[in-house]
Amino acid sequence: MASTLGLPLRAVLFDWGDTLFHAPHAADVIVEFARSSGAPVSGERARAMWDEVWALGKTPEEIAKGRDLSMEAHRRVWMDLFGRFDRVVPGLSGALYEQVMDPRSWVPYADTRTTLEAVRRRGLKVGVVSNVPADLRPVFAKHRLDGLVDSYTHSFEVGAEKPSPTIFLAAAKSLGVQPSETLMVGDHEVDRGAEGAGMRAFVLPTEFEGDVRGLDRVIALLPS
């Protein structure tokens, strides 16, 4: 993708998890639950455990299971993955699901607000497009970011998950823009499904510092 996208561009769509928001405390949940269960796990091991299962959760095989089409499917698929932890600390799978996978426990990256504000200052519409089994509006409202988002497109409402073009086309329609006028920003190859809907797509680098996601790269792409 060129350094700037040029015109026309009327809207930017953002993925939610690992793009605008993150779960900051998964390793802490593992450590604390293990300690309370009498089976201590070090912070280093807890982080490695979480990183391993989170990476597995992003494989094409797991994504294809339709986990974000309903709460029932979401719980079943993630609990199957988390079940491996019960061999280390019995009951850990349930604690992780309840305390980490609830969208209300997630927090914005340090550069989320400034990025959304910058997009809006350029006169562009902002949409959130997420494979998620629950409404994200209360999550954004909790952090007073709801005023910076024009529409939310959830997989469970649309009945389709990224990378299907269906969810991206629904997002463009919700904003009243054409796919060709839209940029999709995400953290995973499924976000490139937007290209199949006639949009442009930008996938953020996987490496970044602390809780600064590197969203300034998005602003650098936009026409001034």
Measure Cα distances from 137 to 70, 146, 152, 203 in Å: 17, 7, 7, 23
- pLDDT of 182 reads 97
| Closest alpha carbon to 193 in 209, 213, 224, 170 | 170
| Closest alpha carbon to 165 in 127, 126, 198, 139 | 198
- pLDDT of 5 reads 66
Measure Cα distances from 176 to 172, 181, 183, 192, 219 in Å: 6, 10, 14, 21, 22
Mean pLDDT of the chain: 94
Strand partners of residue 17: 21
| Closest alpha carbon to 186 in 215, 164, 216 | 215
- For residues 34 and 116, give the distance between their C-alpha atoms in angstroms, rounded to a whole number: 38
Q: How far is CA 1 from the centre of its chain?
A: 22
- pLDDT of 75 reads 97
For the chain, the domains span: 11-22+107-221, 26-100
Calculate the dihedral angle through the C-alpha atoms of 186, 191, 197, 200, rounding to the nearest 10 degrees: 40
- pLDDT of 3 reads 45
Q: Which of 5-9, 12-16, 36-40 shows the lowest per-residue confidence on average (mean pLDDT)?
A: 5-9
* 62 pLDDT more than 80: yes
Strand partners of residue 14: 128, 185
Measure Cα distances from 187 to 36, 149, 161, 178, 197 in Å: 34, 19, 15, 23, 18
Token code pair at residue 102:
């609830």
| Residues 11-22+107-221, CATH architecture | 3-Layer(aba) Sandwich (3.40)
| Closest alpha carbon to 96 in 40, 34, 139, 48 | 34
Q: Are 162 and 187 in contact (CB under 8 A)?
A: no
* Residue 6's pLDDT band (cuts 50, 70, 90): low
| C-alpha dihedral sign at 26, 31, 34, 35 | negative
Q: pLDDT: is 6 or 91 the higher one?
A: 91
**Mean pLDDT, to the nearest integer, of 27-42?**
95
